[in-house]
Structure 1
Amino acid sequence: MSQYHRACVPIAGVMAALVGGGVLAIYVFSMFAKQIALDFEWSRSTVAFGATVFSLMNGIGAVFLGRAMDKWGMKRTTLIMIAIFGLSLCSLSLIPASVPIYLTVFAIIGFSGAAATIYPYSLAISAWFDQSRGLMIGIMNVGTGIGGILLPLVAAYMLANYGWREGYVVIGILAFLLPCIALVWLLKLPDDFEADRKRLQASHAQQSIWQLFVESRQLKILMLGIFLVAFATLGFLSQLAIIVGDKQLGPLEIAGVMSAASLASTVSRFATGVAMDYIPARFVAAFLFLLASAGIWFVTAHDSYLMLVIGGALLGIGLGAEADVMTFMTSRYFELHKFGSVIGLLHLMFTWGGAAGIYLLSMSFDAFGNYIYASYAFMAVVAIGVMCLLSLGPYKFPPAPKQKASA
Structure 2
Amino acid sequence: MSFFNSQYNSDTPYLDSGYSWARLCFSVLISLIGSAGMWAVVVVLPAVQEEFGIDRSEASIPYTTTMIGFAIGNFLFGRQIDRFGIVLPMIVASMMLGTGFILGALSTNIWTFAIFQGVFIGIGSAITFGPLIADISHWFERNRGIAVAAAASGNYLAGTFWPLILKDVIATDGWRDAYMLIAVASIAVMMPMALLLRRRLPAQEVTLLPSAGQPVVNKRSIDISPRALQILLCIAGISCCVAMSMPQVHIVAYCADLGFGVSAGAEMLAVMLAGGIVSRLLSGFLADRIGGVRTVLLGSFLQCLALFLYIPFNGLASLYIVSLIFGLSQGGIVPSYAIIVREYLPAKEAGERVGLVIMMTVVGMALGGWISGLIYDLTGSYQAAFINGIAWNMLNMGIMALLLWRTRESRPVRA
TM-score bracket, shorter-length normalisation: 0.7 to 0.9
Amino acid in structure 1 at the alignment position of 2:37: L
Q: Distance in 1 between matches of 2:97 and 2:257?
A: 37
Alignment CA distance shift 1:375-1:389 (3 Å): same
CA offset digits 1:176-227 (Å, max 9, x no partner)? 3333233212452322457879xxxxxxxxxxxxxxx995221111111111
Q: How much has 1:307 moved relative to structure 2?
A: 5.3
The counterpart of 1:12, out of the listed 20, 26, 51, is 26
Which residue is equivalent to 2:113? 102
- Structure 1: gaps (5+ residues): 198-212, 403-407
Kept in 2: contact 1:236–1:361 (CA 8 A)? no
Partner of 1:169: 180
What letter is aligned with 1:12?
Answer: F
Moved more, 225-234 or 380-389: 380-389
Q: Distance in 1 between matches of 2:174 and 2:72?
A: 31
1:379 match: secondary structure: helix
What one-letter code is carried by the residue in structure 2 that aligns with 1:141? A
The correspondence for 1:124, drawn from 127, 135, 142, is 135
Q: Does 1:57 align with 2:69?
A: yes
Deviates more, 1:284-293 or 1:81-90: 81-90
1:283 to 294, 317, 320: 294
Whether the 8 Å contact between 2:98 and 2:186 is mirrored in structure 1 is yes
CA contact (8 A) 2:163 2:270 kept: no
Deviations 1:225-255 (A, max 9, x none): 1111111121344334555677777888767
Q: Quick one: which amino acid aligns to residue 51 of structure 1?
A: Y
* Structure 1 residue corresponding to 2:403, chosen from 381, 392, 402: 392
- 2:37 maps to which of 17, 24, 28: 24
Corresponding residue of 2:310 = 299
Tell me how far apart the structure 1 counterparts of residues 59 and 373 of structure 2 sit (CA, whole Å). Answer: 17
Matches within 5 A, 1:249-398: 258-302=269-313, 308-393=319-404
**Residue 251 to residue 151, structure 1, CA distance change in 2 (3 Å):** closer
1:170/1:278 CA distance change after superposition, 3 Å: same
Structure with a larger share of its residues in helix:
1
- Contact in 1 for aligned 2:149/2:284 (Cα 8 Å): yes
After superposition, the CA RMSD in angstroms is 3.6
1:82 alignment partner in structure 2: 94
Look up the equivalent residue of 2:102 and give its one-letter code: C
CA deviations 1:311-337 (Å, max 9, x no partner) are 322321344223321222222222222
In the alignment, the residues of structure 2 paired with residue 327 and residue 224 of structure 1 have an alpha-carbon distance, to the nearest angstrom, of 15
Displacement of 1:152 in angstroms is 3.2
Q: TM-score, normalised by structure 2?
A: 0.78
Q: Which residue of 1 aligns with 2:214?
A: none
Cα 1:148–1:365 change in 2 (3 A) is closer
Give the TM-score normalised by structure 1.
Answer: 0.80
Secondary structure of the residue that 2:371 maps to in structure 1?
A: helix
The unaligned stretches of length 5 or more in structure 2 are: 2-13, 209-223
Deviations, residues 79-108 of structure 1 (Å, cap 9, x unaligned): 223322222223334x35255543332232
The within-5 A match list for 1:146-157 is 146-156=157-167
Question: SS in structure 2 opposite 1:392?
Answer: helix
Matched residues in 1 for 2:179 and 2:256: separation?
30
Distance 1:233 1:79 in 2: 30
Distance 2:175 2:72 in 1: 27
- Comparing 217-226 with 246-255, greater Cα deviation is found at 246-255
* Equivalent AA in structure 2 for residue 76 of structure 1: L
Percent identity over the alignment is 17
Shift of 1:362: 3.5
Counterpart in the other structure of 2:217: none
Bigger shift: 154-163 or 321-330? 154-163
Q: How many residues align?
A: 383
Seen in structure 2, the aligned counterparts of structure 1 residues 281 and 111 have a Cα distance that, compared at 3 Å, is same
Instruction: Tell me the alpha carbon deviations over residues 364-398 of structure 1, each in whole angstroms, 9 at most, x when there is no partner.
Output: 34444544455334323212211212322487997
- Indicate conservation of the 8 Å contact 1:331/1:397, yes or no: no
**Distance between the aligned counterparts of 2:267 and 2:169, measured in 1?**
25
**Does the C-alpha gap of structure 1 residues 105 and 274 become closer, same or farther in structure 2, counting only changes over 3 Å?**
same
CA contact (8 A) 1:326 1:346 kept: yes
**1:136-285 alignment, distance < 5 Å:** 136-156=147-167, 158-159=169-170, 163-193=174-204, 216-241=227-252, 258-285=269-296
1:208 counterpart residue number: none
In structure 1, distance between residues paired with 2:86 and 2:243 = 31
For 1:327-349, what per-residue CA distance to the aligned partner results, in whole angstroms no more than 9, with x for missing partners? 22222222222112212221221
